[in-house]
Amino acid sequence: MLTRREFIRTAALFALAPRILAPREREIWINDVHSQLNRTRVRELLMPRTREELAEIVRSASRKGLPISVSGCRHSMGGQQFATDSICIDTRPLARVISFDQERGLIEAEGGVQWPKLIRTYLDAQQENAKQWGIAQKQTGADTFTLGGSLSSNVHGRGLAMKPLISNIESFTLINADGKSVRCSRDENNELFRVAIGGYGLFGLIDSVTLRLVPRQKLRRVVEIIHAGDLPKRFEERIAQEFLYGDFQFSVDEKSPDFLQRGVFSCYQPIDEHDPIVAEKKLRNDDWLDLLRLAYTDREKAFKYYSDYYLSTNGQTYWSDTSQLSAYLPNYAKKLREQIGGEESSLIITEIYVPRTDLPDFLAQAAKLLRSNRTIVIYGTVRLIEKDDESFLAWAKESYACIIFNLLTLHKLDGIKASARSFRCLIDLAIARGGSYYLTYHKFAKPEQLIACYPQFKQFLNLKRKYDPTERFQSEWYRYYRNLFAS
């Protein structure tokens, strides 16, 4: 007779084996969440629950010569997390917080953990402490991102003087193509550390990450409506006044002279630790949907709604970490279509980088360009990034201003082509100013744009083959660039 523990273990092993070995009974299709434009058929979709299961999946795929793709919460939009006919590993069940060193502010968690769980765990652990630790940064606009996916894109938040996430990483362990665990840090396997962060899952599966936390602080939100022309100076002033976070959310009303020119400038200033936290007004999921609906149907009203709301929160106080959490509706496109009808559509994001002094001119040219291309911007924001001098495929090559555009994209060939054209034009505007773009959101850039912004890309592919000569880890994104360089 099996004990309960033995029974669970045996059941888990049996559950795992057929999922690896069973021939395909039905086709499995998966897609990205935000744009829904990367539908891909995979051979298997596996959800390992332990490191051992994970390593066994990798070894089994190696024995059979099958490619593996690695997915987190599927927010990337260039096919980075899927490969046709690959074994796709969904990392989300690998979500344990492993340890929390409260002396040094180091937290270790599995790669599939998402930000809300990570934050909740360290908050619970230090409830009684006068001095608490918190994350320095995470993505804005949604919370359902895995730590592994965040590392692999080397993400950033809205810090006014922060480098990308690599600056907050102490170390990680990665399961390589042989199924072996490799520890990477600045002192151990440094090259792999630098190339796997921002390496889009091509060097192995990041199974645990040790993140450096920073002291949690109380902050006051200070909101103004300002003009883009003043933005470089105002950002500088806020940094000199020791504000920690901030962004500029611009008008998306293409019929108004304010289009990309006026915006809500919200920055966050540290306050006394004894001040109370008072943040009564908050946008909830339904408010976001209302706002999105307005942005689709009446962008003048949308900006008014948004700026009125933000101005009404001027002076609210927040914690530095939880203030970075935000609402997101994964099925926003479907819900909107139910409300307003119209053709099938969704949003594709792009993020463009320009030297900070070029920001007003870039925004003015971008407004002209988007108007003449009849492109609809649903949401857009400007943030800052400090130069990343560590990751191999660094997107923050300089201390740039980051301009983010969410473009409405119709799900038909012409609609996708139109958005792709606008993205390429925006990248050209950036390149003309010594700027760049983010690889996470699409692969619409022309080859010469890719090379201009990422001259090290060929070397990046060589490093991929150095660490993974059998190309065990693949994605649609990788195959596209590999073939591009091969030809």
Ligand X SMILES: Cc1cc2nc3c(=O)[nH]c(=O)nc-3n(C[C@H](O)[C@H](O)[C@H](O)COP(=O)(O)OP(=O)(O)OC[C@H]3O[C@@H](n4cnc5c(N)ncnc54)[C@H](O)[C@@H]3O)c2cc1C
Which residues lie near ligand X (CB under 6 A)?
Answer: 34, 70-76, 80-81, 91, 111, 139-142, 145-146, 148-150, 152-153, 155-156, 200-201, 205-206, 328, 349, 440, 475
Residues in the chain: 487
Which residue, 207 or 258, has its beta carbon nearer to ligand X?
207
Smaller CB distance to ligand X: residue 132 or 437? 437
Rama region for 179: left / alpha / beta (φ>0; ψ in -120 to 50; rest): left
- Integer CA distances (angstroms), 473 to 52, 54, 464, in order: 18, 14, 9
* Minimum distance from residue 74 beta carbon to ligand X (Å): 4
Residue at 103: amino acid letter: E
- Shortest CB 30 distance to ligand X, Å: 10
Locate the DSSP E strands across 312-442. 317-319, 345-355, 377-384, 400-410, 436-437
Neighbours of 42 (CB within 10 A): 23
Nearest C-alpha neighbor of 473 from the set 211, 192, 210, 209: 192
* Residue among 139 and 307 whose Cβ is closer to ligand X: 139
Q: How far is the CB of 272 from ligand X (least distance, A)?
A: 29
Q: DSSP string spanning 2-51? A: --HHHHHHHHHHHHHHHHHHSPPSS-EEE--SSS----EEESEEE---SH
Give the integer Cα–Cα distance in Å for 159 and 244: 6
Q: Quick one: 132 or 250, whose CB is closer to ligand X?
A: 250
Choose between 145 and 296: whose C-beta lies nearer to ligand X. Answer: 145
CB of 441 to ligand X, least distance (A): 7
The nearest distance, CB 20 to ligand X, in angstroms, is 19
CB of 280 to ligand X, least distance (A): 25
- Phi, psi dihedral angles at 107 (to 5 degrees): -125, 130
Q: Which DSSP string do the residues of 205-258 spell out, in sequence order?
A: EEEEEEEEPEE--EEEEEEEEEEGGGHHHHHHHHHHTT--EEEEEE---TTSTT
Q: How far apart are CB 11 and ligand X at their closest, in Å?
A: 25
Task: Kindly tell me which of 71 and 391 has the beta carbon lying closer to ligand X.
Answer: 71
Give the nearer residue to ligand X in terms of CB position, either 94 or 367.
94
